[in-house]
Structure 1
């Protein structure tokens, strides 16, 4: 059965919008689509989304790097042979390699040659080094089986027994500190992201109240003559959803372009010390598909949060109007 009262209210809402301030034949929106406040809110949302996207990308980079560090622990260990009086460096390195290869759980052992050692020391001592004239420790890189690692205690005891000048370093101490720092950075990033979303929500609340204050008479007239709260709230919701999505897309796209540029720069300068340091900390500086999905989800969240916040603010404001007595009005 057709509800004539509902149809009459909808018709009256449409007529009231037809006689809006624009003087055009099409319905006039309750909230002006283009004004200074709307552009300012869009700019604020774009900035907030840009900062939040940077946080998402940074958290993704740090999290991936921490996982890579943990994998490095289970793949390789290092044995250094210290230069000392009476130590035949070449023979000591060969003995370390032999011991490592005969140990269960070791898949390979490589002696770091003079050229590779020189490249490691080049940032501090320059190029053209003669390692025979310098008391420089030499390294043996040992690859281990991740599924069945060797007995490190037994390996250290054997090395100390046969090559007293050797020291085994499994990197666990400093990598553990780096992983702890990375996890703390992730927690800080999550906190910053939460604060940015809270600030965006508060900004939308104030912007919605400002828009309602500027159109207070129109809203109250529509509400008092019978316009549903859902109808008025829907107009504000559409307006702020459009502003929120446009601002969020601008901010998110800018952040993605920045990450893409940094990744391209790192890939194009792999031989420079600056790029090597960045690669050591953040890998290829690529946030991967998880980072891109996270930014897209953030853009959708900001747009939906903007629309939902504005709708909730309007509904609460209209409920406050209903609680005011006719004399107070």
Structure 2
């Protein structure tokens, strides 16, 4: 007798649950700290804005420092003899005698005598134009351009002026103005450096709060990683890599925006150069050209912002897990 055995059909394996049904942080190959979330984009925007402000401060400090160096170089190459009017003396003769003494001094490359009208015109910024200054005892000036070989010894000239024109002529080497200018420039640069440091501190604080928020939102993932044997250093490196990329993105955007702002300011300054306002701006700040040191400072701030972001996030994670 033949026995025919009928095998029961094997049921198909249960269909795997679609990956899309899992939470975002538990999907396969999902990063521990997602960088495309709204919070990540907001943090990158904050870092870009702070980097932009820090780069502007650094570039402005570089412009002031460069302009101050140019001013100091220009002022240091000239000295001035002031001849005051004195009753009973011929002012023009005193001016000619002072000029002759200056020309006979070694180290003086050229001299220039300001006429009475030119001397009165120098007072217009303080007294205004259209005034009759003929009755005022306006001093006459003789400017001396120093030779490029080095600063000469002006003590003999000062002594000669004191003997030939006592109480009338005085020599001004602008040392007081140079010290004030140097102090002002150093103070401005110090303020710029302080503002850059404050902006970087603000960047670090923003990263601290963002990292703690990311840790709180990924608490289950962190617990699972601990359960399967991942140590705190592994988790901290994951957060550091992700936040470093966010910081690098924000730093690049902020630095590029700062460079574009300086380029636009230079274009506007060149466009206004023909007018009186443009001439004054160029005399004070130059052509808004920050030079290679300025460009290096702006780019360095972008790199520092990304490095600070990565380091602060790592330290925050280690402190959170401790």
The whole-number CA distance in structure 2 between the counterparts of 1:130 and 1:86 is 23
The whole-number CA distance in structure 2 between the counterparts of 1:257 and 1:92 is 55
Larger Rg: 2
1:248-263 equivalences in 2 (<5 Å): 248-263=251-266
Structure 2 residue ranges without an equivalent (≥5): 1-18
1:107-118 equivalences in 2 (<5 Å): 107-113=109-115, 117=119
Q: How much is the aligned-residue C-alpha RMSD, in angstroms?
A: 3.1
CA deviation vs aligned residue, 1:106-155 (integer Å, no higher than 9, x gap): 11112234675465445455667787676432221101235443332321
The whole-number CA distance in structure 1 between the counterparts of 2:317 and 2:26 is 26
CA deviation vs aligned residue, 1:237-290 (integer Å, no higher than 9, x gap): 232122212222222222222223333333333454544444444333322110
Q: How many positions carry a matched residue from both structures?
A: 303
The equivalent residue for 2:307 is: 304
The answer to whether structure 1 residue 207 and structure 2 residue 210 are counterparts is: yes
The whole-number CA distance in structure 2 between the counterparts of 1:264 and 1:114 is 39
Shift of 1:229: 4.1
- Which structure features the higher share of helix residues? 1
The whole-number CA distance in structure 1 between the counterparts of 2:271 and 2:139 is 33
More off after superposition, 71-80 vs 159-168: 159-168
1:96-115 equivalences in 2 (<5 Å): 96-113=98-115
User: Does the aligned pair in 2 maintain the 1:21–1:28 contact within 8 Å?
Assistant: no
User: Does the aligned pair in 2 maintain the 1:205–1:313 contact within 8 Å?
Assistant: yes
User: Does the aligned pair in 1 maintain the 2:51–2:254 contact within 8 Å?
Assistant: yes
User: Does the aligned pair in 2 maintain the 1:111–1:141 contact within 8 Å?
Assistant: yes
The equivalent residue for 2:77 is: 75
The whole-number CA distance in structure 2 between the counterparts of 1:121 and 1:262 is 32
Structure 1 residue ranges without an equivalent (≥5): 1-16, 321-329
1:1-329 equivalences in 2 (<5 Å): 21-22=23-24, 27-113=29-115, 117=119, 120-124=122-126, 135-145=137-147, 147-164=149-166, 165-270=168-273, 272-318=275-321, 320=322
User: Does the aligned pair in 1 maintain the 2:26–2:221 contact within 8 Å?
Assistant: no
User: Does the aligned pair in 2 maintain the 1:74–1:146 contact within 8 Å?
Assistant: no
* TM-score of the aligned structures, taking structure 1 as reference length: 0.79
Change in CA separation of 1:18 and 1:30 when aligned onto 2, cut-off 3 Å: farther
The whole-number CA distance in structure 2 between the counterparts of 1:29 and 1:211 is 12
The whole-number CA distance in structure 2 between the counterparts of 1:201 and 1:261 is 30
The equivalent residue for 2:16 is: none
Change in CA separation of 1:304 and 1:18 when aligned onto 2, cut-off 3 Å: farther
